[in-house]
Structure 1
Amino acid sequence: MIDCHAHLVSDDKTTYPPAPPGGLLPPMAFDNLMTAETLLEEMDKSGVERAVLVQRGSIYGFDSRYVCDSAARYPQRFAAVCSIDATQADCGEAVRYWVGERGAVGIRLMELIKGSDIAWLDSPVARDAWQAAATLDVPVCVHFFPWNRDIGLAHLERILRDVPGLTVVIDHLSSIQSDVGGPDHGIDDRLRSIAQFDNVVVKFTTIPLGRLDKAGIDPCPVIERVCDLFGAERMIWGSDITQSPGSYDYMAALGRVAVRNLTAAQQEMILGGTAMRVYGKSWGKA
């Protein structure tokens, strides 16, 4: 089992000082510390072999040193995905730095200040970051919130058409309304349109799974419907530890439960195989 969405929070604020966008830390930001070493312990207890460390942007902004340092320290267990400020003129160079010099295996683009205009995602400046990722052959994570997913997915479709060779990972089931019931379980025309691109992978995490669990809704039909659309070879799981509430063991259990009605081959692909294909280049060298 490979966790494709683990957030670290260091206990060393001197080496890794907070740098939240807008200067405001989320409430209780350091109440749930998750160092690299603690995460390894939790993974071992929960039967998770490897993890992709996704920069906790709400705490560290675009300073991805901790996830990159942790991946370099434990290369057989971790890989790093760094955050890029695609509103800055040097965003393409930033991609080349974090990937080429710091060993990141992917980048992430998302709105870090609520309510900002997501038009930046497909600006001429941001296109430099997208092109750099395609040239370096690293996937780009994108996170859409309910309030910006429609326009965000529209921007993304244009980018996918214009930038050949680009691999994109859409976080948190693209914030679909997964609790609305069948037959589509929140899948809409926007997501169907994106699914036509073979190089798009969708990630499910504790954000949608925890919401369904709290409401007493079986997640299996939701995951089965997404699997019907994308295929198991384009789906991955992530915990969202430190961002979502709950223990690591609870999050890993949610992931396993959500795929229990799929075939053994599909479960193996979703919980590990796809992640190795998308992020496993560094592990092959470790």
Structure 2
Amino acid sequence: MAEGLELIDTHQHLILRDRLGYAWTAGIPALAAGDFTEGDYARLTAGKGVVGSVFMETGVDDADYRAEARLVAGMSGFLGQIASIRPEDEGFEAWLEEALELGVVGFRRILHVVPDGVSETEVFRRNLRKIGRAGVPFDLNFLARQLVPVGVPLLRACPDQAFVLDHCGVPDVAAGEWEEWDRGVAAFAGFRNVVVKLSGITAYAAPGAGVGVIRPYVDRLLELFGPERMLWGSDWPVVDLGAGLPGWIDMTGELLAGLSESERYAVGVGTAKRVYGV
């Protein structure tokens, strides 16, 4: 790891099966059983330069997403939380108001697990603009194939909303996919209200993939967005499908080693503080 690199983790999940449902983990051996707790995370990051973390909603079962945010709001170990929200739902306004009262610093709707048309409705976009007026960023999860046809129109419709593109725009690294992803992230970088999250990418690479495989994607994102528009996330415990948490932290240090001290600070800490207000 680059000497002295400090990180705010903007994408830490928890899995607490006795309190919430995680149907999406079924069939994923690394995640299908057991809990992934604050204590587990602390042990994995000890001495690794992580100076704080922001909880990221864990894609809990639909009936539980409000309960998850309420539960996390009572925990003291986070700098803030990014809560799940449903801009397409009639109950949007009430939940937006409650979540803001809980101190939520961001919202997310995972858009690659629903039909593309969900984010294309005027109801969704009108409600998303309300999040923007509240001054809170919105994390976007799109597959590479969705970036231009689905993502770009959404960005155009919500020019005053701050967006965070999660997981490097989800390139299929294992398949060597580049062109479609590159067109998409280049288009997103043209919107000044979008930053990109350096997270999740090892889960889309072949098992055991090293820095050399990941570097071209990260270097391209740095070229497009610059360090001031990039922030870091662990995506723990999903990162266990790739490099694992300690391994991803070490890879991050290698990937950013060529940057100046101020640029490494921006990716590791500065952009997160600015975007999420933590």
Pick the TM interval, shorter chain: 0.7 to 0.9
Matched, 1:233 2:228: yes
Matched AA of 1:225: R
SS at match of 2:50: coil
1:49 pairs with 2:51? yes
Q: What is the identity, as a one-letter code, of the residue corresponding to 1:274?
A: T
- SS of 1:46's partner is coil
Aligned residue number for residue 284 of structure 1: none
Q: Tell me the percent identity.
A: 23
User: Which residue in the other structure is 2:192 paired with?
Assistant: 198
Q: Does 1:145 align with 2:143?
A: yes
Q: What are the superposed Cα offsets for residues 2-57 of structure 1, whole Å, 9 maximum, x if unpaired?
A: 1111111125x1xx23164xxx6533545352222332343334221111111110
TM-score (norm 2): 0.82
Q: Which residue of 1 aligns with 2:65?
A: 63
| TM-score, normalised relative to structure 1 | 0.80
**2:236 is paired with a residue of what secondary structure?**
coil
Residues 248, 234 of structure 1: alpha-carbon distance in 2 compared, 3 angstrom cutoff: same
From the superposition, tell whether residues 194 and 248 of structure 1 become closer, same or farther in structure 2 (CA, over 3 Å). closer
Per-residue CA distance 1:132-157 (angstroms, 9 max, x = gap): 21121110001012453332223323
Deviation at 1:63, TM superposition (A): 1.5
Q: Distance in 2 between matches of 1:225 and 1:147?
A: 18
Q: 1:112 to 1:65 in 2, by over 3 A?
A: farther
Partner SS state of residue 150, structure 1 = helix
Matched residues in 2 for 1:253 and 1:150: separation?
A: 32
Counterpart CA distance in 2 for 1:40 and 1:64 is 25
CA distance in structure 2 between the aligned counterparts of 1:58 and 1:198, rounded to whole angstroms:
31
Task: Give the C-alpha shift of residue 262 in structure 1.
Answer: 1.8
Query: Paired residue for 1:94?
Result: 95
1:216 Cα deviation from its structure 2 partner: 4.1
Where does residue 8 of structure 1 map in the other structure? 14
Q: Does 1:129 align with 2:127?
A: yes
- Work out the CA distance in 1 between the residues paired with 2:146 and 2:195: 19
Taking the aligned partners of 2:129 and 2:232, their CA distance within structure 1 comes to 26
Contact 1:201 1:235 survives alignment (8 Å): yes
The size of the alignment, in residue pairs, is 267
The answer to whether the 8 Å contact 1:194/1:200 transfers is yes
Q: Identify the residue that residue 3 of structure 2 maps to in structure 1.
A: none
1:17 maps to which of 11, 17, 20: 20
Aligned AA for 2:122?
A: P
Shift of 1:80: 0.5
Change (3 A) 1:168 1:26: same
SS at the partner of 1:244?
A: helix
Q: Please tell me the residue identity of whatever aligns with 2:184.
A: R
Check 1:59–1:255 CA distance in 2 against 1; reply closer, same or farther (3 A cut).
farther
Summarize the alignment of residues 154-233 of structure 1 with structure 2, pairs less than 5 Å apart: 154-161=152-159, 164=160, 166-177=161-172, 188-208=182-202, 211=205, 214-216=208-210, 218=212, 219-233=214-228
**Which segment is superposed worse, 191-200 or 225-234?**
191-200
Q: Does the residue aligned with 2:158 lie in a helix, a strand or coil?
A: helix
Measured after TM superposition, the shift of residue 118 of structure 1 is 1.5
Which runs of 5 or more residues in structure 1 are unaligned? 282-286
Q: Which runs of 5+ in 2 are unaligned?
A: 1-6
Q: Is the 8 A contact 2:44 2:245 kept in 1?
A: yes
CA contact (8 A) 2:120 2:154 kept: yes
Counterpart amino acid of residue 224 in structure 1: D
Please say if residues 173 and 208 of structure 1, whose CA atoms lie closer than 8 Å, have aligned partners that are also in contact: no
1:235/1:244 CA distance change after superposition, 3 Å: same
- The 4+ residue runs of structure 1 with deviation greater than 6 A are none
Taking a change above 3 Å as real, the CA distance of residues 224 and 17 of structure 1, as seen in their structure-2 partners, is: closer
What's the offset of the Cα at 1:195? Answer: 1.2
Question: Matches of 1:227 and 1:212 in 2, distance apart?
Answer: 22
